Amino acid sequence: MLRKFFSLKPRSAPRMIVAIGLVVLYLVAFLVATRMVVHTPSPSPSRADPDYQPSSQARCFSWGQATQPTGPQPAPDLAPVGQPAEVDSIRYQVPVAAQQQDEIGGQHARGVFLVAQLSEQYVGTDMLGLTMIPGGVQLVDRTGTVHCAVTTPTWRLNPSHYPSQGIPGLIVPISINPGDPPVTLSLVFDVDPGQAQGAYLRAFNRTGSASVSLDLGLT
């Protein structure tokens, strides 16, 4: 083969060089294309639902006793549905039994959505009042596992308080002044269907140093 190549006539040599060059270019293009196909990364998993990112699900573990990942089960001094419970001039109440839903506004639960209504009223005398922070309320399931509210479906069920959605996992506080009537929010939690029975809410004071337990009527 080499002998045949070196025996080529002068006129044939340029054609052969051009042909070899074209082959080389073709091989280079093929290798580059193959490398691009093989090494193209798959879609990033960071596009997962932001409502379930660890930072979003840790919003209710922010201070005091609220930092604990578990709560007592059964709950001590559990306030029945419709009966208020007070801690440091904050009066909490679950006015009606919680509801279980598979879907809210097109968003499906990973387990089941527990929709809990919570009323909060400031009965103190501080003229600055307080801020109602849904992220400071926890749900404790029947195993004692603590859950934070899921942001987006909570927004959707409270359009008068949250007319426009913001950062997933962050619910803007609501101001409550002395003498104001109770403010009621529908909070949405995502729990395993088998752990819903016996679940209750823990609602904290402003420093997280004390809390009250509120039955959800899921017994």
Burial 147-179 (b: 16+ CB within 10 A, else e): bbbbbbbbbbbbeebbeeeeebbebeebebeee
20 by DSSP, 3-state: which?
A: helix
163: pLDDT strictly greater than 90: no
- Distance in angstroms (rounded) separating the CA atoms of residues 124 and 133: 17
The distance from CA 139 to its chain's CA centroid, rounded to whole angstroms, is 14
* Residue 32 near residue 26 (C-beta atoms within 8 A): no
5: pLDDT strictly greater than 50: no
Q: Is residue 215 very low, low, confident or very high in pLDDT (cuts 50, 70, 90)? A: very high
- Distance in angstroms (rounded) separating the CA atoms of residues 52 and 9: 74
CATH 3.20.20.70 is held by the domain 50-215: no
Selected residue with higher pLDDT from 18 and 193: 193
Average confidence (pLDDT) over 146-163: 85
Residue 167: predicted pLDDT: 55
For the whole prediction, is pTM greater than 0.85? no
State the chain's mean pLDDT as an integer: 78
136: pLDDT strictly greater than 90: no
58: pLDDT strictly greater than 80: no
Tracing tokens 């990942």 back to the chain, one arrives at 69
Tracing tokens 């990033």 back to the chain, one arrives at 44
Q: What is the pLDDT of residues 85-116, one digit of tens each?
A: 999 999 999 999 999 999 999 999 999 999 99
Residue 6: predicted pLDDT: 45
Cis peptide before 163 (omega within 30 of 0): no
Q: Which amino acid is at 192?
A: D
DSSP track, 89-129: TEEEE--S--EEEEEETTEEEEEEEEEEEEEEEE-S--TT-
Residue 37: predicted pLDDT: 40
Selected residue with higher pLDDT from 138 and 74: 138
The residues facing 184 across adjacent strands are 119
126: pLDDT strictly greater than 50: yes
Q: Which amino acid is at 109?
A: A
Q: Is residue 21 very low, low, confident or very high in pLDDT (cuts 50, 70, 90)? A: low
